[in-house]
Amino acid sequence: MDPQKTPHLGKVVAVQIITMLVAVVSMLIDGIMTGMYLGEDSLAAYGITSPVNMLLVALGGLLASGAQIMGAGVSEERMRTDSTVF
């Protein structure tokens, strides 16, 4: 991959890593709180749904990173037009 075509790739990767770390810590805290206050059945249900939640967080981060990289070389006027239209 040509570094000159994707100058923001390092920043995007760093943001993605931080996002995933925050999501994991949040899920860990949720699991602890669920187990302590709601019981074993609730913790089991949380454990079943956690991978789906993590997949959605990863997919959202992937789409956001891709949009950010694709928009890196776009002019300011085009960005305003796209943000107004969408």
- pLDDT in the model for residue 73: 63
User: What separation in angstroms does the CA of 45 have from each of 21, 34, 37, 64?
Assistant: 22, 10, 14, 29
* Count of structural domains within the chain: 1
Q: Is residue 69 part of a domain?
A: yes
Q: Is residue 4 part of a domain?
A: no
Domain span including residue 53: 9-85
Low-confidence stretches of the chain (pLDDT beneath 70): 1-9, 71-86
Give tens-digit pLDDT for 47-63. Answer: 999 999 889 988 888 88
Tokens 């990289």 found at: 69
Q: Is residue 39 part of a domain?
A: yes
- pLDDT in the model for residue 15: 79
- pLDDT in the model for residue 85: 55
Return all residues near 12 (Cβ < 8 A) that are at least 6 apart: 65, 68, 69
Q: Is residue 3 part of a domain?
A: no
Q: Is residue 67 part of a domain?
A: yes
Residue 68: which of 2, 1, 7 has the closest Cα?
Answer: 7
